[in-house]
Amino acid sequence: MTDAPVVDELTPPVRTLMGPGPSDVHPRVLRAMGTPLVGHLDPAFLDVMNEVQELLRYVFRTDNQWTLPISGTGSAAMETAFANLVEPGDTVLVPSNGYFGHRMASMAERAGGAVVSVDAPWGEPLDPADVRDAFETHQPEVFGFVHAETSTGVRQPAVSELTAIAHAHDAFVIADTVTSLGGVELRVDAWDIDIAYSAAQKCLSCPPGASPITLSDRAMDRILTRETPVRSWYLDLSLLEGYWGTERSYHHTAPITNVYALREALRLVAEEGIERRWERHREVARTLVSGLADLGLDRYAAEEYWLPSLNTVRVPDDVDESVLIDHLLSEYGIEIAAGLGDLAGEVFRIGCMGRSARLANVQYLLTALEESLEQRRS
Ligand SMILES: Cc1ncc(COP(=O)(O)O)c(C=O)c1O
């Protein structure tokens, strides 16, 4: 037996988080996490749950009754969507133009779905004409798309067109809104999305751990009348309904502190106003992009589908991307990220999300980048 390890008190470095998430967290959210724990069935916590659900409806722009946080990170909310909606044998259409479309494919397959894809090059959104063709060819029951692709910095425009195509074929639409919720225009009801899921640590600027999801009655009806049980017990919405629906009966112990944090983060969104918040993300990211261009760093995604919350810029030929990223972190405490998947080595990924979408952050990053690039090149 070894002796009890001696571990120092936790003193993490203070960072400026300008990567693909997590983003900087508001002190009010951190304070909420330090408030006393209550039980997950305490009447006081039941009130908190109601408030979180109400705030989530506001942020998703929906009246969906089935709006709740899933315990776990964004991938748990994502898996909840696919595991519940997809029945074995269903055909599931997913995009191939980014890293998270591929994750959708893995999850749909594990749920027993037969996966087919609609293609677009990495760095471009889906073309509605291609989606229509894919529907004619494959007649899928479920269609997933990524509203804000974090690997490419591309925003999927024309969402209503995509959902109209799917609904004309009686299919259900799952939208990944992990990098758009609370930062980029998203209207679940107006755009007729059946299921949208997200994460806490991006534009909501909340620590990861409780991840939003919203489902239309139509989607929930399909889930509640499935022929086979959902393969995951933990993420089975027909069981979670007992806790997050009207009954409020035990299913699993909610991550209380994460729910407190989410409540405070959502309160901050409501205080700012969702549309004003979308506008702030656009304005601040616009300053970022033009400052990057002045430094010779060109945006990767075209203007029409630029994603303000996640900016991809091409790595210049004379720059070693990993050296620059390490330098920003060690010398300035700034986090940005490298490219992912097909874009590894091709782009930097610079987040402009939630509390990190501030001019002070952007100016600091641009100054640090200017100095770092000069040093690399001299
Ligand atoms: C678009 C998208 N979907 C899903 C996820 C998965 O979320 P998480 O890493 O919180 O599990 C991410 C994470 O970055 C993402 O960017």
- How does pLDDT run along the chain (378 residues), one tens digit per residue? 889 999 999 999 999 999 999 999 999 999 999 999 999 999 999 999 999 999 999 999 999 999 999 999 999 999 999 999 999 999 999 999 999 999 999 999 999 999 999 999 999 999 999 999 999 999 999 999 999 999 999 999 999 999 999 999 999 999 999 999 999 999 999 999 999 999 999 999 999 999 999 999 999 999 999 999 999 999 999 999 999 999 999 999 999 999 999 999 999 999 999 999 999 999 999 999 999 999 999 999 999 999 999 999 999 999 999 999 999 999 999 999 999 988 999 999 999 999 999 999 999 999 999 999 988 765
Q: Are residues 170 and 186 in the same domain?
A: yes
Whether the CB of 146 sits within 6 Å of ligand 1: yes
Q: Which of 96, 186, 88 is nearest to 142 (CA)?
A: 88
Select from 234, 255, 271 the last residue of a domain: 271
278 and 232 share one domain:
no
Q: Which residue's alpha carbon is at the smallest distance from atom 16 of ligand 1?
A: 150
Within 8 A by CB and 6+ apart from 320, the residues are 376
Kindly state if the Cβ of 353 falls inside 6 Å of ligand 1: no
Q: CA 102 to CA 99: how far, in whole Å?
A: 5
Q: Which domain holds residue 357?
A: 16-20+274-375
pTM of the model: 0.98
pLDDT computed for residue 375 by the predictor: 84
Q: Indicate whether 59 and 184 sit together in one domain.
A: yes
Ligand 1 centroid, distance to 75 Cα (angstroms): 6
- d(CA 74, CA 21) in angstroms, rounded, equals 11
Is residue 163 lining ligand 1, measured as CB closer than 6 Å?
Answer: no
CA–centroid distance, 74 to ligand 1, in Å, is 5
What is the C-alpha end-to-end distance of the chain, expressed in Å?
54
Q: How far is CA 171 from CA 102, 125, 249, 363, 374, in A?
A: 20, 20, 32, 45, 53
What's the CA-to-centroid distance between 178 and ligand 1, angstroms? 6
Query: Do residues 82 and 108 lie in contact, with contact meaning Cβ atoms separated by under 8 Å?
Result: yes
Cβ–ligand 1 contact at 173 (below 6 Å): no
* Amino acid 35: pLDDT: 98
Ligand 1, atom 8, residue with closest C-alpha: 74
Atom of ligand 1 nearest to the CA of 150: 16
| Residue 142 counted as domain residue | yes
Query: Which of 248, 271, 294 represents a domain boundary (last residue)?
Result: 271
Same domain flag for 79 and 208: yes
Longest dimension (CA), the chain: 66
Mutate to test the pocket of ligand 1, among 17, 75, 107, 156 (most ligand atoms within 8 A of CB): 75
Q: Is 74 in the pocket of ligand 1 (CB under 6 A)?
A: yes
What spacing in Å lies between the alpha carbon of 354 and ligand 1's midpoint?
Answer: 16
Please tell me whether residues 237 and 355 are part of one structural domain: no
Residue where one domain finishes, among candidates 211, 246, 271? 271
Which amino acid does the sequence have at 56? L
In a domain, 9, yes or no: no
Name all contacts of 240-243 with Cβ < 8 Å and 24+ positions apart. Answer: 240/68, 240/70, 241/66
176 CA distance to ligand 1 middle (Å): 9
Q: How far is ligand 1, taken at its centre, from the CA of residue 3, in Å? A: 39
Q: Quote the pLDDT of residue 377.
A: 67
Looking up residue 348, the CATH number of its domain turns out to be 3.90.1150.10
CATH number of the domain residue 181 falls in? 3.40.640.10
